[in-house]
Amino acid sequence: MSFKSIFMAISTYSIIPVPQFEWKQENWKFAICWFPIVGIFSGGVMAIWIYTAQVLNISRFLYASISVCIPLVVTGGIHMDGFMDTADALASHQNTARKLEILKDPNIGAFAVIYAIIYVLISLGLFYQLGPKPASYIICPSYVISRVFSAYYAISIKNARTSGMLNAFTESVDRRKANIILTFLVIIPSVLIGVYGGLCGVVSILAAVITGEWYKRFTIRKFGGCTGDTAGFFLQICELSMLTAITIGGSLI
């Protein structure tokens, strides 16, 4: 295990301050595998917020508003950036090569803003419906699980480009070792969400699996493979699907 890879994963995919190291292959070799650790921070902050909202009897709207912001703030918005870039590329209805160019464009388009607003509003509604109650804690392990899926697909799906950060993180990774690490990282949160959440927790994991299988076909069909932006797009959709399953499942089960 390389602590340098762990710190590089945390520094790349979050705003958490950690020791910095030189940007070279031996340091980032397994960074993508340790990316799910960032989910521990998101889940931890969310758990603290849920407890605080319960103790202080905070309104459901304020609870939901801050809950939406927590994963965005902890990650520095890096995955939402990918979501927005991908939304712009898809809305262009251009060929694959042109879509990949749009992903690299630093300028923001109207469709990126529109779909980001839609995403936030849906998340706000779901968190409001869920409320700051004991069942809300089920969402906390999902931030690790979604990142395990994201890392797995980043490794297993071919890259649409031969350059970029995701390509650097995945091109030389030992896939067998990577899958062992990811399996290890997914066990505890899956057990927690399954035991604590019961059938509702299991349904949320199933939602992540279905989203992942959809994404694998989607990104190959639309972009010829995955990129850092489409990986961010997937992470946001995966988190939203798990939140939906937990919120709606909690009401029906």
165 pLDDT band (50/70/90 cuts)? low
- Report how far residue 227's alpha carbon sits from residue 219's, in angstroms, rounded to the nearest whole number: 9
Q: Is the pLDDT of residue 1 over 60?
A: no
pLDDT tens-digit map of 64-96: 999 999 999 999 999 999 999 999 999 988 898
219-222-223 Cα angle (round to 5) = 70
pLDDT > 70? residue 114: yes
Asked if pLDDT for residue 168 goes beyond 70, the answer is no
Q: What is the pLDDT of residue 25?
A: 62
Buried b (16+ CB within 10 A) or exposed e, 126-156: bbbebbbeebbbbbbbbbbbbbbbbbbbbbe
In percent, how much of the chain has pLDDT > 90?
A: 48
Q: Return the pLDDT at 107.
A: 83
pLDDT tens digits for range 204-220: 999 999 999 999 999 99
pTM (two decimals): 0.89
Output the CA–CA distances (angstroms, integers) from residue 163 to 152, 160, 218, in the order listed: 19, 9, 21
| pLDDT grade for 169, boundaries at 50, 70 and 90 | low
CA-angle at 231, arms to 225 and 236, nearest 5°: 140
Residue 2 confidence (pLDDT) above 60: yes
pLDDT of residue 253 exceeding 60: no
pLDDT at position 199 is 83
Distance CA 3, CA 19 (A): 10
Q: List the one residue out of 24, 190, 157 whose CA is nearest residue 2.
A: 24
User: Cα separation of 118 and 166, whole Å?
Assistant: 27
- Residue appearing with tokens 């690299």: 104
- pLDDT (mean) for 22-36: 72
Token pair in block for residue 93: 């209805």
Q: With 70 as the cut, is the pLDDT of residue 14 above it? A: yes
The pLDDT score that the predictor gives to residue 179 is 81
Q: How far apart are CA 71 and CA 68, in angstroms?
A: 7
pLDDT digits (tens, 9 = 90+) for 116-164: 999 999 999 999 999 898 888 999 999 999 999 998 998 888 887 776 6
Given a cut of 70, whether residue 22 has pLDDT beyond it is: no
